Amino acid sequence: GSLNAKFVSHGKKFWASAADQGTINIASNQALLKADFGGVTPENSMKWDATEPNRGQFNFAGSDFLVNWATTNGKLIRGHTLVWHSQLPSWVSQISDKNTLTSVIQTHISNVAGRYKGKLYGMSTSLKNEILNEDGSLRSSVFSNVLGQQFVNIAFTAARAADSTAKLYINDYNLDSNNAKVQGMIRVVNSVNSGGKLIDGIGTQTHLSAGQAGGVQAAITALAGTGCEIAITELDIAGASASDYETVAKACLNTAACVRRVPSQLGFITSWGVADVNSWRASSNPLLFDNNYQPKAAYNGLLSIM
């Protein structure tokens, strides 16, 4: 059976991959997406610089391609990402007025999330991406500098209004052991959710170094203490050893919030791409398929443990 089929047999929704028009149009890559993965996340096409390069001027060519391909091929879709300090057009980073920035965030989210209303599981990886520093404090960005932590509430409230069925995720990297950043994430999520649940899920990107997988279980368990569902949203591991991949998969399989806790909670893992040749970390060979789109030891290892 395929990677996704094995994963689903454990009560999971899907094992997904990042994709976009460029990688979908590579025949060998598309064949693997169809055979082994149950869902996709837009690697770049749904980001702010792609969808609203100028204020009020929207471009959905790339994200429509991804969403149409996924729909035609029966793949679930996680959105990525509505508000992020990176790949952000300069017209946004220049705003210094609170009311203007609030309205700009609301307009962006209502247009992007509204366009794909009802089609996304999680406007997620992430509605809000990478808001924390390594010590768990709020990262400096135009959003936090102008609006403080309130920008998180503004963004999630706008997303809920635009698509009431999408699971709303907050997403970050280096949440790979029960560290200060994990504690910062827990603090922000509990604070934002204290007036009513706005954040449904926490995405942990899980871009790992070789041998770093051992802390993942403790991190996921701590994050699940918020009552949110947990997803591994951008998995890749330098060197891609079978044991590192198996450790991460087991951490998700072993954790109620990362498996299905109630029917509305659907645990899953997203690989940040299919084959090493197209990875943002290509030189560290971090994915499950090699430069020739052949399965690696980690792929076979995962099939053997699931």
Helices H / strands E in the chain, number of each: 13, 9
| Residue of 117, 153, 280, 303 that binds ligand G3I (CB under 6 A) | 280
Q: Is 43 in the site for ligand G3I (CB under 6 A)?
A: yes
Closest distance to ligand G3I from the beta carbon of 47 (Å):
7
Of residues 43, 130, 234, 246, which has the active-site annotation? 234
| Residue of 25, 68, 86, 103 that binds ligand G3I (CB under 6 A) | 86
How far apart (Å, rounded) are the C-alpha atoms in residues 167 and 198? Answer: 9
Which residue type is seen at 66?
A: L
Helix (H) or strand (E) holding 146: helix 142-147
| 248-245-11-304 Cα dihedral, nearest 10 degrees | -140
Whether residue 52 lies in the annotated active site: no
Token digits of residue 31: 């064949």
DSSP-based three-state secondary structure for 242? helix
Closest distance to ligand G3I from the beta carbon of 129 (Å):
6
| Residue of 9, 68, 73, 87 that binds ligand G3I (CB under 6 A) | 87
Interaction with ligand G3I in 107-166: which residues (CB under 6 A)?
129
> Whose Cβ is closer to ligand G3I: residue 44's or residue 102's?
44
Closest distance to ligand G3I from the beta carbon of 102 (Å):
24
Q: Taking a C-beta distance cutoff of 8 angstroms, is the pair 12, 266 a contact?
A: yes
Q: How far is CA 47 from CA 84, 104, 217, 222, 299, in A?
A: 8, 15, 29, 29, 29
DSSP-based three-state secondary structure for 49? helix
| Residue 262 backbone dihedrals phi, psi, to 5 degrees | -130, 165
Q: Is 234 in the site for ligand G3I (CB under 6 A)?
A: yes
> Whose Cβ is closer to ligand G3I: residue 80's or residue 115's?
80
Closest distance to ligand G3I from the beta carbon of 303 (Å):
25
> Whose Cβ is closer to ligand G3I: residue 237's or residue 253's?
237
Q: Is 205 in the site for ligand G3I (CB under 6 A)?
A: yes
Instruction: Kindly list the catalytic residues.
Output: 234
Positions touching ligand G3I (CB under 6 A) are 43-44, 86-87, 129, 173, 205, 234, 280
